[in-house]
Chain A
Amino acid sequence: MNRAAVAIDQLGRTVLEYVEEMGKIALLFLSVLRWMFQPPLKSHLIFKQMEFVGNKSIFVVVLTGAFTGMVMALQGYYGFKMFSAESMVGSVVALGMTRELGPVLTSLMVTARAGSAMAAELGTMRVTEQIDALSVMAANPVKHLIVPRVIAGVLMLPLLTVVSDFMGILGGYFVGVHLLHINSGIFVKNITTIVDLDDLYNGLVKAAVFGLILSLIGCYKGFNTRGGAEGVGKATTEAVVLSSITILISDYFLTAIMF
C-alpha cells in the first residue's frame, strides 16, 4: 500500500472511532435516563455528589466569576471611553456574565475540578475491579455510580452559575464604581434596563446542559478505563479535554438557538 492509502485509512479509522465514542456516550445517556426513573433512588448518594460538585466548587467559581467581571469592566472601560459612554460598562459586564461567561467559565472550572475527579474515581474503581464487583452483587453500576453524578451535575451547575453571575457583576461594580469612578446609580440602572430576565434564565439553561455534558463525559471516560494506573491518568486527561471542547462547541449552538 502506498502512503496516501495508509493516510486515508488512518483518517477513516479515527473518524469511525470518534463516531463510535459519540454513539456510546449517547447510549450511556439513555441508560442514565432509564435508571433515573427506576425506584428507589438513593438520596444520600445524590446529596453527596451534589455537595462535591456544588458546595466544594463555590470558592473556585466565586474567584473566577469576580475576576472575570472585574477584568471585563476594565477592558470595557477603555473601549467605551472612546465614545464617552463609560456608563455602559455595567450593562456589558452583566450581559456578558449572564449570557456567556458565567455559564461557560463555571462549567470549565467544574470540569477541571469535578469532571476530572469523576473520571479518576470511576477509572480507579474500574481498574481495581470494584465496578465488576458491583455487577456481581446485582447492583447496577450505572444506577449507583453514574445517575447520582449526572443528577448532581445538572442541578448544581445552574446554581453555581447564579453565584458566578452575581460575583461577576459585583466585581464589575467594584472596578467600575470604586476604581474607574463611574456613577453608581447610572451603572446599576443601565444593568437593570438592558439585561432581561431571558438573558439570566437562558444562561442557566445553558449551564444545566453543560452540567449534563461534563458529568456524562467524565463518567463515560472513567467507566470505560482500560489498563491500570496509566489508563486512569489517560482517562482523566481525555475527560477534561473532551468535556471542555464539547462545552465550547455546544455553547455556540445553544446560543444560536436561544438568543
Chain B
Amino acid sequence: MFSISSEAKVGIFVLIGLIILAYMSFQVGQRGFGLKKGYSVDVFFNNVAGLERDASVQIAGVEIGRVESIALKDGKALVTLRIGKDIKLARDVKAAIKTHGILGDKYIELVPGKDEEIYIHEGGRIINVESQADLDRLLNQLAFIADDIKKVTGALSSVLAGDEGEASIKDILENSRQLTRNLNTVVKSNEATLRAVLENTRQLTENLNNVVTKNDEKMAQTIENLRGASEQMEKTFASLNDITESIKKGEGTAGRLIKDKDMAVKLDQAIDSLRDVTDKINQGKGTIGKLINDEETVNNLNEGLTGLSRYINKAEQFRTFLSYRGEYLFDSSEAKNYLDIKIQPKQDKFYIVGLVSDPQGKKTIRDTTVAGVTTRTEEWDRDGLLFNAQIGKRYKDIVIRGGLLESTGGVGLDYFALNDKLKFTFEAFDFSADEKTHLKAAAEYQLFKHLYLSFGWDDFISDKGQESPYAGISIRFEDDDLKYLLTTTPIPK
C-alpha cells in the first residue's frame, strides 16, 4: 500500500494552517496593514476628543477612507485621512466630526463641494472645517438660557403669585370684560352716526367726480404747455447741429482728428497693421497663430502636458532598493552571499537582479557521447557566481515572484505580517529531473530600519545531504541616486 511520509503529512498540515491564517488575517487586517492604497489628505480640527486612529471617513454614510494619524500641530489637531483612490474630493469639500451609534463612536463626515474644477491631491488639505458641537459648550449655553428663563419666571411669579397677584389678575379680567361691554354699547348706540359717516363718504366721492369733469379745459391747457416745451427742445438740437458742423470744418481738437489728412492716414495705417496681425493669426502664421489655429499644436501641447504628468507620476512611484544578505549555513559552516538590486516601478510590481556567491559554486553539467556511450560530468566552479533575475507582483500581503533563482528557473512566495516587519519566504528552484528540487523556507524580521535578521532552512528535501538550517543578516536600503539614474532615460507610454 502506498503510504505518505510524515514529511508530506506535516507539509499538508502546515499548508492548511497557513492558508487559514492568511484568510483570517485578510479578513481582519484591513486596517492600515499591507499596501497603502489611495491618497492622504490633511485636516486641522480644533478639537478631536474621542476620535481614534482608523476611525471611518464617510460621505453620505458610505465609508471612503480611514483616519491614518492624529497629531498635534500649532495647538491644533492635525488629522491625516487616507482616502480611497477612486474618490475625488472637490477643493471646497467640508469636513466635520460626527458621532455614531449608542457608544458614541466618532467618525469624520465629508460633505462634497461644488467646485468640480479642482480636486484635492495627495498631501492636500481640506480647508472648510465645520466646528464640532462641543457638548460641554452646548451645556454651558443651555445653562445660561435656563438662567434667563428662570429670571423671567421668577419675576412673573413675584408679580402674580400670592393674594395680591390673584386680585390684580381678577381686576384685569374684570376691566377687559367691562371694556368689551362698553365697546359693544358704543357701537350699538352710534349705529345712526356710523351710517351718516358712510353717507358722507359717498357724497365726497361724487363731488370729486364733478371737479374732474368741470376742469376738462384746464387739462387741455396743460397739454399745450407741454407742446411748447418740446419746441424748445427742437431749438437745442439745432445748436447741437451747429457744434458738429464746426467739428466738420476742422475746428478744435475733435475737428482736427476728423479733418486732418495726416491723422487719418496714420490711423488708417495703424488699423491696417492691426488687420495684418489678426489676418496672420487667423491663417495660422507665427507662433500665436499656430497656437490658436492649428489643432495639432493644441493636441501636442495637451499630450506633452499629460506625458509630463505621467512621467512625474512614474518617477515618484519608481523606487529602487539595494540589498546585501549573508547567510551562514550551520551544517557546512559556510556562508552564502547575495547582492540584489530591486527595481520597483509601481508599488505592487518589482524586478530583482542580483548576484549570488554560493560556497558550492557554479555547477556545469556536460554530456559527452563517445561511441554511443554518454558520460555526464558535473563540474563545480567554486569561484563561479550565480545570478538572480526575477519579476514579482504583490497582492496585499502576498508576493509572488519568479524567474532565475541562483541561475536556475524557479518561483518564490512571500507572506508579509506585522506591518511588513516580518516576512515568510518559500522558494522552489532547480527543477532538474535527476535530483530533488531545491526548496528553501525562511523567516525574516526587520530589526532596525535597514537591518534584517533571518532564519531558515536551505534545500531541506535535498537528497545529497545539503540540507542545512541557516541564520542570516541583511542590509537593505532605498537608493535614490540609482532611481534618478534609471528614470532620466525616457519612459515609454
Residues of A within 8 A of B (CB): 37-41, 43-44, 47-48, 50-51, 54-55, 58, 158-160, 162-163, 165-166, 191-192, 195-197, 199-201, 204
Contacts and interface: CB of A to CB of B under 8 A. Distances in A.
B20 A39 contact: no
Contact of B468 (A39, A58, A166): A39
A160 B330 CA distance: 29
Contacts of B333: 39
Contact of A48 (B6, B20, B24, B31): B6
A50 B10 contact: yes
Nearest to A188: B27
Given A39-B331, A58-B13, A159-B13, A195 B28 contact: yes
B28 A196 contact: yes
A39 B334 CA distance: 12
A159 B21 CA distance: 8
B13 A197 contact: no
Contact of A197 (B6, B33, B469): B33
B415 to A, nearest CB: 13
B467 A43 contact: yes
A159 B30 contact: no
B234 interface: no
A163 B16 CA distance: 9
A47 B331 contact: no
18 contacts: A39-B469, A43-B467, A48-B6, A51-B6, A55-B13, A58-B13, A159-B13, A159-B17, A162-B20, A162-B21, A163-B16, A197-B25, A197-B28, A197-B31, A197-B33, A197-B418, A199-B28, A200-B24
Nearest to B6: A51
Contacts of B469: 37, 39, 41
B28 A200 contact: yes
A43 B458 CA distance: 12
Contacts of B467: 43
A99 to B, nearest CB: 12
A40 B468 CA distance: 8
Nearest to B467: A43
B14 interface: yes
B468 A51 contact: no
Contacts of A38: 330
B10 A47 contact: yes
Nearest to A46: B10
B24 A166 contact: yes
The 8 closest A-B pairs by CB, nearest first: A159-B17, A197-B29, A39-B331, A51-B6, A50-B10, A47-B6, A47-B7, A39-B330
Interface in B454-488: 460, 467-469
A192 B17 CA distance: 20
B170 interface: no
A54 B144 CA distance: 70
B417 interface: yes
Given A39-B333, A162-B21, 8 more contacts: A44-B7, A47-B10, A51-B6, A55-B10, A55-B13, A191-B27, A197-B25, A200-B21
A166 to B, nearest CB: 5
B202 interface: no
A54 B13 contact: yes
Contacts of B417: 197, 201
B20 A40 contact: no
B21 A192 contact: no
A26 B13 CA distance: 31
Contacts of B31: 196-197
A200 B422 CA distance: 15
A40 B6 contact: no
B9 interface: yes
Nearest to A49: B6
A195 B417 CA distance: 16
Contacts of A158: 17
A51 B18 CA distance: 16
B24 A51 contact: no
Contacts of A44: 6-7
- Among B28, B460, B467, B468, chain A packs the most CB atoms within 10 A around the CB of B28
A165 B16 CA distance: 13
Contacts of A196: 28-29, 31
B17 A162 contact: yes
Nearest to B331: A39
A165 B17 CA distance: 11
A196 B25 CA distance: 9
A54 B8 CA distance: 13
- Among B5, B18, B21, chain A packs the most CB atoms within 10 A around the CB of B21
Contacts of A43: 7, 460, 467
A192 to B, nearest CB: 5
Contacts of A160: 17
B468 to A, nearest CB: 7
A183 B131 CA distance: 37
B25 A50 contact: no
Nearest to B25: A197
Interface string B30-51: 1101000000000000000000
Interface string B392-427: 000000000000000000000000011000000000
A107 B7 CA distance: 23
